[in-house]
Amino acid sequence: VAWMNHANDGNESAAFESAIQTSYQLAAGTDEVTRLILERLVTIINPAHNPESHERFVAWYNSVQVTRDGTADRAAAEHHAPWGMNTNNNHYQIDLNRDAFFLTQPETIQLVRAFNDWNPVVFVDHHGQTKNMFFPPPADAVNQNVTASQLDWMNRYGNVIGEAFDRRGWSYYRRGRFDLFYAGFWDSWPTLNGSIGMTFETDGGGNKGLAYEREDKTILTLRDGVLHHHTGTMATLKLTAENKEQRLRDLYGYKKSAIEEGKQEALKQVVLVPGKDEARVRMLIEKLQTQRIEVYRTSQPIRLNRARGYVGGGEGTGAREIPAGAYVVPMNQPQKRLARAILELEPAFTKEFLQNEERKKRRADLLGAPVRDGFYDTTAWSLPILYGIEAYWAEDAVASNNLVRVDAVVETGSTASPARATYAYLFGPDSLGSMRLLAQLLREQFNTVVATELFRVNNRDFARGSVLVRVERNPATLHERISQLAAETGVTVYPLTSARVETGPDFGEDSFVELEIPRIAVVTDEPTDERAYGATWFTLDQRLGLPFTSLKIDQLKQVDLRRYDVIVLPHGSPAGYQEMLGASGISRLRRWMEDGGTLVLIKGAAALATRKGVEWTSSTLKKDQASVRLFFEDNVPPARGQTDATDTEPSSDRAGEDDASGGAANSAANESRRTQAPRAPATPASTSQASTAQPAAEDSKPVTRETELVRVSGALLRLKIDGQHFLGYGYTDDIGAT
C-alpha cells in the first residue's frame, strides 16, 4: 500500500492539484509504468488532508485574481492574502502538520485511524512553498528513533526522483531545511510507524498563484508546481512497485526488531500514575491507543528499582513504589519507536549534529550574531510532562504477571450518576471535564458558587475552585441535568445532605462566591497570531463550550466595553498591538480594567502590558539573563581562555521585546557583543548517546549556568503555581509546560 497525502497545508494549492493529476494518470494511463503500479500496489490518494484550508484559500484567490492566467508580478494583490487566509491552518486555525500524535483535531484522528487500517509502506506528504522542489533525504536533525534502513530507503527514493528531475533539467534540493526530528509532522509520524514518510515541497502554486516571477525573471506557474509533484509521486510509486516484496519485509522487520530493541535497551517501560486526575491520564492513554501503542495496567502495587521521575515525580534515578491501577507502556512492543519518540524524557542526537551545532554557536558568539539552530521547529513535546501526569521512566524489566492489557479505556465510576442530593452537588476543579461541566451549568443558568478556601467533607479533601450547586437555589430539574452532564464530561459529582463540613468553612460562609457566566470577547485579526487566536477559539468553543465575541481592534476601540467581563488578547506582536490600539485604545482598556474588567494577555500580548506607554502591570520582562542548560554542552569540553565573569549590566536596548518570538534572539545577540558567559564544566553525557541512551545516573543533575537568553525552538518548563490565586485554582503541585 502506498499513501499519497495532499493538501495537508491546504493553501499550498499545487499539492491538491497534483492529486488530481496523479489520479487521472492512474485511472487513464496505459503505459508500462502505470500498469506496473496498478498491478503491484494499492495506491491511496488523499487529495485534501485539510479541506477547509484549501477551500478558503482557493475561493479567496479566485475572487481577487484579475487575468485568466494569473499575474506574475510579485506585487499583485493575489500574492498577498489577508490575515487568516494565507495559512495552512484548518477551520480552527490550527496547524494539522504538528498534530499527528497530539490528535486534537478530527482530521488527524481520522487520518491516524485510516493509516493504521492500511499500514502503507510509503507515505508522501505533498506540500508547496519552496523556491525549488525539495524531496528527501531529510536535513539533520533526524529523530534517533528512525532506523538506518529507513534513512537508506529515503536516499533511494530521493535518488530515483532526482534522476527523473535530471532528465528534464529541473532544479531541486535534498537534505536542506526540512528535518525529521519532531515526531508530529506528517513525514516523521508515518516513519515512526514503520513506513517511509517523506515531505515533498514543490515550487509553484500557493501564494505564488497561477503565475509568479522568479528572481531571474522567468515565470513559475501552478502547472510547473503540479508537474514537479506528479513526477516525484510517479517515481516513488514505481520504485515501491519494483521493490514490493522487500518493502513489505522491511515493514514487518521494523515492528519485529522494535520488540527486540525494547527488550535490550536500558529503558524498559514508562509508568503513568493516575493520582487525582484519572480523566487526564485517560485522555493520554486514549491517544496512545488510537496510535496502536499497547498499554497495560498494574493489578497490584509494584516496586521499580531504577526509575527516573518526570515532572511531579521527583528528580534523579532511584526506587519508587507504584500503586495498583497505574498504566504501563512497555517498550518491548511493535510500536516501541513511536511510543519512545512521543514519551521520552530527552531525545538523543548524533555526535555529528551536536558538533555542528556547537560550531555554529561558537561562530555566532564571535560575530555577535543570533544562533540559528538546526531544528525546523519545536524540540519539546514529551507527553507525560505536557499532560502534567506523574510518570516514571524505568529500567526495570516489565513484571508481566502483574499487568492487565487495557483494550479500551475503562471508565472508573466517574460516569455513575450521583445519588439525589438534599443540600447540594459538589465537584472538584482539577480536570478539563469539570471546567466544561461548570461552563454548561452556567450557560443553562443554574446557580453555582466557587470555594475560595480548602475544606473537607464526607472524608474527602476539596481544593480551592471546587464548585457547589445548591438544590434550594436551583430548579427541580437540577438532579436530572447534572447527572446527564456528569456522564458527558466524565466528572465525579458528589451529593451532599448538609451545609456542614468536617474542616474549613461551612457552605453558607462568604468564602463561597457566586459565579456568573462570563461575557467574553477575544481579539482577532491583525496583530494577533493566527494560530494563537485559533487555539483560544478552539479551547473556548470545543473544549469548554463557552460562547464569545470575536472582536477586531477597530471595534475594540469603539464599542461599549461594559458589554464584556473578560477580554482576551491572544499572542501577537507587542509593538503591533501598541500601534494598532493607539494611546486612546490603551487608556480605554485601562479604564475598563479599573471598573472591574478582566484582561487576559497571552505571550506577546503579555509583553505588551510591560511596554513604555502601556504599563498595565508592574511586572517587567526578564530578558537579559537566565539560568539554562544548552543541550549540546554536556559533552563539550570548555574552551580555553574563556572568562569566568559574567557582565550583568542591564541592557538598555529595548529592541528585543518588539516581537516576543524573536526578541530573545535579538537580545542574546546584542548581549553577546559585550559579554562572554562562563561555561559549565563538562560532565558525562546523557543526551548524546544514540537511541540506547540511558537515564541519568542517580547523582547526576542537569548542568545549568547563568547565560544570555538564547532562542530555543521549544523548551519544557517546570511551573510553580500560586494555588491561592483564582487563576491557580485546581493546581496543587508544580506543573510542566512547553
The residues binding Zn ion (CB under 5 A) are: 9, 12, 127
As measured in angstroms, the least distance from the Cβ of 139 to Zn ion is 15
Q: How far apart are CA 405 and CA 289, in angstroms?
A: 11
Residues 6+ apart with CB under 8 A from 675: 646, 647, 708
Q: Is 46 helix (H, G, I), strand (E, B) or coil?
A: strand
Shortest CB 129 distance to Zn ion, Å? 5
Judge contact between 521 and 564, C-beta under 8 A: yes
Cβ neighbours around 671 below 10 Å, total:
24
CA distances in angstroms from 8 to 108, 127, 182, 203, 394, listed in the order given: 10, 7, 16, 16, 37
Q: How far is the CB of 127 from Zn ion (least distance, A)?
A: 3
Pick 161 or 553: Cβ nearer Zn ion: 161
Q: How far is the CB of 205 from Zn ion (least distance, A)?
A: 11
CB of 632 to Zn ion, least distance (A): 29
Asked whether 721 and 734 are in contact (CB, 8 A), the reply is yes
Residue 726 and residue 212: Cα distance in Å, rounded?
53
Q: Return the number of the residue (13 or 687) whose C-beta is nearest Zn ion.
A: 13
Measured between alpha carbons, how far is 690 from 347 in angstroms, rounded to an integer?
Answer: 9
**In residues, how long is the chain?**
738
- Of the two residues 20 and 38, which places its CB atom closer to Zn ion in the complex? 20
DSSP state of 543: I
Shortest distance, position 348 Cβ to Zn ion, whole Å: 27
604: which residues sit within 8 A by CB, 6+ positions away?
A: 529, 571, 572, 573, 574, 577, 659, 660, 661
Task: Tell the smallest beta-carbon distance from residue 222 to Zn ion (Å).
Answer: 15
600 phi/psi in degrees, rounded to 5: -105, 120
Q: Most distant CA pair in the chain: distance in Å?
A: 84
Give 503's DSSP letter. B
DSSP 544: I
Residue among 207 and 672 whose Cβ is closer to Zn ion: 207
Q: Quick one: which H or E segment has residue 436?
A: helix 432-443
**Closer of 12 and 203 to Zn ion (Cβ):** 12
Q: In the bound complex, what is the minimum distance in angstroms from residue 10's beta carbon to Zn ion? A: 9
Q: At what angle do helices 148-168 and 244-264 cross, to 10 degrees?
A: 150
User: How far is the C-alpha of 680 from the C-alpha of 258, rounded, in Å?
Assistant: 36
Closer residue to Zn ion in complex, CB, 3/632: 3
Torsion of CA 458, 459, 460, 461, to 10 degrees: 110
Rounded CA separation 541/551 (Å): 15
| Closest distance to Zn ion from the beta carbon of 97 (Å) | 6
Angstrom distance (rounded) from CA 295 to CA 288: 8
* Min dist. Cβ of residue 128 to Zn ion (A): 7
Nearer Cβ to Zn ion (9/671)? 9
CB of 550 to Zn ion, least distance (A): 26
Q: Does residue 137 have a cis peptide bond before it, meaning omega lies within 30 degrees of 0?
A: yes
Smallest CA-to-CA distance from 78 within 59, 91, 64 is with 64
With the CA atoms of 397, 399, 405 and 410 taken in that order, what torsion angle do they form, in degrees rounded to the nearest 10?
Answer: -110
Q: How far, in Å, are 47, 663, 667 from residue 124 at the CA level? A: 12, 36, 39
On whether the CB atoms of residues 734 and 718 are closer than 8 A, the answer is: yes
Of 99 and 671, nearer to Zn ion (C-beta) is: 99
- Would you say 57 or 729 has its CB closer to Zn ion? 57
Per-residue HEC secondary structure of 471-484 comes to CCCCCCCHHHHHHH
Nearer to Zn ion, 172 or 310 (CB): 172
Of the pair 49, 238, the CB lying nearest Zn ion is at 49
Between 206 and 429, CB nearer to Zn ion: 206
Q: Cell match 511551573: residue?
A: 719
- Report the nearest approach of Zn ion to the CB of residue 206 (Å): 8
DSSP assignments along 437-467, one per residue: HHHHHHHTT---EEESS-EEETTEEE-TT-E
When the beta carbons of 139 and 385 are compared against Zn ion, the nearer one is 139
Identity of the residue, 7 or 112, whose beta carbon is nearer to Zn ion in the bound complex: 7
Q: Closest separation between CB of residue 198 and Zn ion, Å?
A: 13
State the minimum distance, in angstroms, from the CB of residue 381 to Zn ion.
19
In 3-state terms, what secondary structure has residue 139?
strand
